[in-house]
Structure 1
Amino acid sequence: MRVHFIAIGGSAMHNLAIALHLKNYTVTGSDDEIFDPSRSRLEKHKLLPEKWGWFPEKINESIDAVILGMHARIDNPELLRAQELGLKIYSYPEYIYEQTKDKTRIVIGGSHGKTTTTSMVMHVLKENNIDFDYMVGAQIEGFDTMVKLTQEANIAIFEGDEYLSSPIDRRPKFHLYHPHIALLTGIAWDHINVFPTFENYVEQFKIFTDLIQEKGSLIYFEEDEHIQKIIANKRGDISYLPYNTHPFQLVNNQSILQTNLGDFPLEIFGEHNLQNLMGAYYICKSIGLKDLDFYQSIQSFSGAARRLQKLAENDNCCVFQDFAHSPSKLKATTLAVKKQYPQRKLIAIMELHTFSSLKKEFLPQYKNTMKTADRAFVYFDPHTIAHKKLELISSEQVAEAFGGDNLSVYTNSKKLISDLLSMNFMNTTVLLMSSGNFTGTNLASLAEKIIVSAK
């Protein structure tokens, strides 16, 4: 098989390219720019394009499939050439389905927690030597790539993202996987640029449940009111399995699972994570894993990259990084850290970086999401707003939207970091939240500076 990637440098795209290369496919690709870690990974496998740009002359009838990334535009020269030749053009989720349509597909969807839940399932299955294919939206410890596709595995596990599939395929990605086992973690409005109303956004999850295969199952977080509305009219040909927060107790800043098989200490914490864990438990149980095997394996799960990831700590201070950017995740993550370290001061720093978060109409969704922090900082870069071609927002608008007397708003990252490092971090937890990097800030280095100043 010969496969060509248009916009090979994307996070999911380059991982799929590597997965197919490891499957002995002939893989080529193009992009107008590629940054690390994609660049280094592609270079390692000799898949990095020799030149940046688009080269329609690369596209010919010997190509079996063209995979189109979201970064490409609908007038991309290589895409136009592929359409002219009548080649098969896929989005990456569409092609992943093609690669796994004869396997048992497990898809984890939801506005938040899907990466962590998917990672938990992957970790447990690997610990128990169960072979599986997968696609996940973050780098997971113990896994070389974010995509794996084989001939041998009978199970495929996907993180089900609701964002669009490609520039010419406007369906949400998770509509293309057709799961046998589906999980929904919860629903909270996101991607306002694609789903302009909350009702339209929720409808995508309803469609997702409609696409579960006959005799399949839906595992869902029972306390989410929007999921409850979706399942009000249950299908007769699938089973429904609700879950809640796994029973636990907090001992010396460590979460301990309470089960009928005994207590199991965890490396992760927070009620949100304990809900994700319960969902992962039911997925593993549904494919035949024994309870004891699950609980023993989940103890060593330390989390996905940038999902409440511990960057540095000493006896006086701890610094976490989290991907939180949506209002619901921001609120849940801030609360989880405060509950985990109740005797410590919590300093929470959040960057408005996504399209939705920077949109004036969406800002009111953030009301009181950081109120559990002792000090809260919100940062946004006006250049990012201009790049996304959005209406400019002001610091005053952001402050009013978030509310609370614990909040400071910054538009200069150097000033934010300078003021942050001037603070006293004794007996403090610091939480850095963004889907970006605070305009080029090395967060690992920042965390070390915070820890050093807390000694």
Structure 2
Amino acid sequence: MRIHFIAIGGSAMHNLAIALHLKGDTVTGSDDTIFEPSKSRLEKHGLLPEAFGWYPDKLSGDIEAVILGMHAKADNPELLKAQELGLKIYSYPEFLYEHAKNKTRVVIGGSHGKTTITSMILHVLHYHGKDVDYMVGAQLEGFDVMVRLTEDNDFMILEGDEYLSSAIDRRPKFHLYQPNIALISGIAWDHINVFPTYEGYVEQFQIFIESIINGGALVYNNEDAEVAQLAETTEKQIRKFPYETPKYQVVDGETLLETPDGDMPIEVFGAHNLSNLAGAKWICQHMGVDEDDFYEAIATFRGASKRLEKIAESNSAVAYKDFAHSPSKVAATTKAVKEQYPNRSLIACLELHTYSSLNAEFLKEYKGALDAADEAVVFYSPDAVQIKQLDEVSSNQIEEAFQNKKLTVYTHPTEFKQYLMQQNFDNAALLLMSSGNYGGLDFDEVKDWFKG
């Protein structure tokens, strides 16, 4: 096929472009800017656009599919040209469904944990040499490309994002996949720019459950009251498999998971990751992996990129970075690190970076989120608030929202960096939580602070 990508540089989009290229399709694409690592990865495969920008002349009648990224607006010049030519236009979830409509589709949904659960499943299957098609949103050790498409594989595993599909398709992505097997890890209000009420957000997961094919299976986190309510009250003709956090203990900084064969050391830690593991185990069993084989493989899982990722360690200190930004994930991650290192001083730093987190009305959802830390820091950029055209947010509003007397607020990248550089990390754990980079913080430099 001849396929053109509008907004090829996105995390999922560039992986899909590379996957189709490796499959033998002819792939072209455009974007107004492309950041790392997408830029280098596209360049490696000869798919990086010669120049950034939108070029309607790239569109012609012999293109068989146009894949439209969420980054592209409805008035995008290339999109308008594709519509004028009558070309077939897909959002990337639409395209993935078309590819997988004759396969067994396994869709992992939830406000948090879906990337980790999907990564756990892929790690276990990869460990045991089981080949499947997949799409996951983070880099995983042992995998070059995070989208794989074949004609032969029976299963396709999809990370089910609840955000919108494209500028011309306002349906949440996970509504398009029609899973045979689905999982919901938890529901915590997010994407308030699209779902301005909690009830409207929860409704998207109800629709997701209704999209499961009749006779399919729903694996769900029974400890999340909202998820349990949706699962137990649906009239959809599906099989239901609840899961909960397995028993574990932390001994000398090592997490030991209770299994039928005794306690087993694992690389990941924290109650939320153990809950994710329980969900992944159910999915793997539905895919033909027995319990013993699951435990053997999961013992070597080190986590997905940017998900509670250890970036530095010395004899007496450790540093982690995490993609966390939603209130529930911030609370769970902070608690997990403190539980893992109870005798160390925990310095937890959160950047408010997303539309939701910088919304004055939404801020109250962060109450108590950093309470497990010994020192709590929030960084945000007033410029980012202006760029997102939000109401001004003050340091006092943030302090009032978090209700944490140990909280310090920084609004300038240099001042935040100076704060970190002045810290004595002896017998400490540093946790950096953000979907950004604190206004330009060099994480490689952070690693140097922990040497020696």
> Structure 1 length normalisation: TM-score?
0.98
CA distance in 1, matches of 2:173, 2:156: 15
1:371 alignment partner, SS class: coil
1:393 alignment partner, SS class: coil
Does structure 1 retain, via aligned residues, the 8 Å contact 2:220–2:231?
no
Deviation string 1:201-244 (CA, Å, 9 cap, x unpaired) is 00000000000011110000001111122123233521000000
CA distance in 2, matches of 1:154, 1:278: 24
| Pairwise CA distance, 1:70 | 0.9
Shifted more, 390-399 versus 297-306: the winner is 390-399
1:198 counterpart letter in structure 2? Y
Does structure 1 retain, via aligned residues, the 8 Å contact 2:105–2:178?
yes
1:217 counterpart letter in structure 2? A
1:432 counterpart letter in structure 2? L
2:328 alignment partner, SS class: helix
Q: Equivalent residue for 2:307?
A: 307
CA distance in 2, matches of 1:332, 1:51: 42
Runs of 5+ in structure 1 lacking a partner? none
CA distance in 1, matches of 2:255, 2:371: 23
Deviation string 1:349-389 (CA, Å, 9 cap, x unpaired) is 00000010011111010011101100000000111112212
Does structure 2 retain, via aligned residues, the 8 Å contact 1:313–1:319?
yes
Give yes or no for the alignment of 1:320 onto 2:320.
yes
Does structure 2 retain, via aligned residues, the 8 Å contact 1:190–1:326?
yes
Q: Equivalent residue for 2:403?
A: 403
Does structure 2 retain, via aligned residues, the 8 Å contact 1:264–1:296?
no
CA distance in 2, matches of 1:111, 1:447: 30
CA distance in 1, matches of 2:236, 2:174: 22
Q: Equivalent residue for 2:295?
A: 295
| Pairwise CA distance, 1:85 | 1.3
1:399 counterpart letter in structure 2? E
2:232 alignment partner, SS class: coil
Deviation string 1:300-329 (CA, Å, 9 cap, x unpaired) is 000001111000111210001111100000
2:237 counterpart letter in structure 1? D
Runs of 5+ in structure 2 lacking a partner? none
| Pairwise CA distance, 1:397 | 0.9
Q: Equivalent residue for 1:121?
A: 121
Give yes or no for the alignment of 1:260 onto 2:260.
yes
Q: Equivalent residue for 2:17?
A: 17
2:396 alignment partner, SS class: helix
2:180 counterpart letter in structure 1? H
1:222 counterpart letter in structure 2? N
Q: Equivalent residue for 2:53?
A: 53
Shifted more, 64-73 versus 194-203: the winner is 64-73
Task: Provide the aligned length of Structure 1 versus Structure 2.
Answer: 452
| Pairwise CA distance, 1:151 | 1.4
Does structure 2 retain, via aligned residues, the 8 Å contact 1:8–1:31?
yes
> Structure 2 length normalisation: TM-score?
0.98
Q: Equivalent residue for 1:29?
A: 29
| Pairwise CA distance, 1:68 | 0.4
| Pairwise CA distance, 1:71 | 1.0
| Pairwise CA distance, 1:56 | 1.1
Deviation string 1:380-407 (CA, Å, 9 cap, x unpaired) is 0111112212122111111111111110
Give yes or no for the alignment of 1:275 onto 2:275.
yes
Does structure 2 retain, via aligned residues, the 8 Å contact 1:3–1:63?
yes
CA distance in 2, matches of 1:74, 1:111: 26
CA distance in 2, matches of 1:101, 1:306: 31
1:231 alignment partner, SS class: helix
Does structure 1 retain, via aligned residues, the 8 Å contact 2:338–2:346?
yes
CA distance in 2, matches of 1:160, 1:379: 30
Q: Equivalent residue for 1:97?
A: 97
- Percent identity among equivalent residues? 58
Q: Equivalent residue for 1:417?
A: 417
Does structure 1 retain, via aligned residues, the 8 Å contact 2:220–2:228?
no
CA distance in 1, matches of 2:74, 2:155: 34
2:131 alignment partner, SS class: coil
Does structure 1 retain, via aligned residues, the 8 Å contact 2:284–2:294?
yes
Q: Equivalent residue for 2:111?
A: 111
CA distance in 1, matches of 2:122, 2:238: 24
1:281 alignment partner, SS class: helix
